[in-house]
Amino acid sequence: MIKEIIVHLDGTPDDEARIAYAEYLAAARGAHIRGLYCVLLPEIILNLPQYAISRDVASEQMAQFKAQVDKTEEGLRTRLDRLSVPYDLRRFDILAGGVEGIVANQARTADLMVVRTPYRPGFAMPGRAPEVVEAALFGSGRGVFVVPEEEPVRIRPMDTILVAWTDSREAANAVSRAMPFLQAATQVVAAMVEDGRPPEAIGEEPGADLARYLDRHGVKVELRYLREWRNASDALFNEAERLGAGLLVAGAYGHSRLREWVLGGVTRDILTRTPIPALLAH
């Protein structure tokens, strides 16, 4: 069951898309929304000797910064007061290095976290806080709901769901996290982008165990094999649009290198250009 939904907030226009989807998801499931507002403290003010800023100037700059942040928080509360579901708003004033720990800690005690696509082709978007998304994905063990890049925001019904299935821990966790959505859907399709191996090399029809597992949870699934695609992401996005799917479920793949996450190709593509909402889990 989904009863606690975190929504990442930062005081930018992107908040409206995140809040809209969080409310939609929470209202459908009688869930509570927890707003997460992480304020990154300006290091230029905190490191006085390095920048040779007088204490009076630094104090004035910090006061101005705090006044702006307080105003943003007040605006967020005003917006959240219009929600049709219960909520609370948590604010954390932290240095950039503390984001990962705070986000992961908060997400571990929720069922789902709502974010927006944090990348553009070829580069990360600092305003979209990719470090927040990565911390939730790889540090919490929970599901992350990714709102696609589109204007205006269009809330899609999730009657049809596409599952990007591979025989992996990440895909299995994503299916588990998405179970409430899968059980409520009228059509579930599990798509496998074929890697060139014949089915008999795996031992039986690929996806057969997934179908049995979902059937025991009351979910009827259709297995589809996507052939002759050079790019797995393109295959999945094409299938999602062809189905008119309202949700893409996929495992999130990556590994840490020097405190930075190196993402798998499909994972990064979903976080960059998914055409529909995506539920990811690691």
* Structural domains of the chain, with CATH: 4-147 (3.40.50.620), 160-280 (3.40.50.620)
The 10s digit of each residue's pLDDT in 21-44 is 999 999 999 999 999 999 988 865
Distance CA 36, CA 91 (A): 6
Which pLDDT does position 123 carry in this prediction?
59
Q: Are strands 160-164 and 247-251 parallel, antiparallel or unpaired?
A: parallel
Please give the C-alpha separations between residue 182 and each of 109, 148, 220, in angstroms, as whole numbers.
22, 20, 9
Under-70 pLDDT residues of the chain: 43-55, 122-127, 151, 195-204, 257-260
Which pLDDT does position 196 carry in this prediction?
60
Which pLDDT does position 47 carry in this prediction?
58
User: Phi and psi dihedrals of 277, rounded to 5?
Assistant: -55, 145
The 10s digit of each residue's pLDDT in 159-215 is 999 999 999 999 999 999 999 999 999 999 999 997 665 555 555 678 999 999 999
Which pLDDT does position 62 carry in this prediction?
86
Which pLDDT does position 24 carry in this prediction?
97
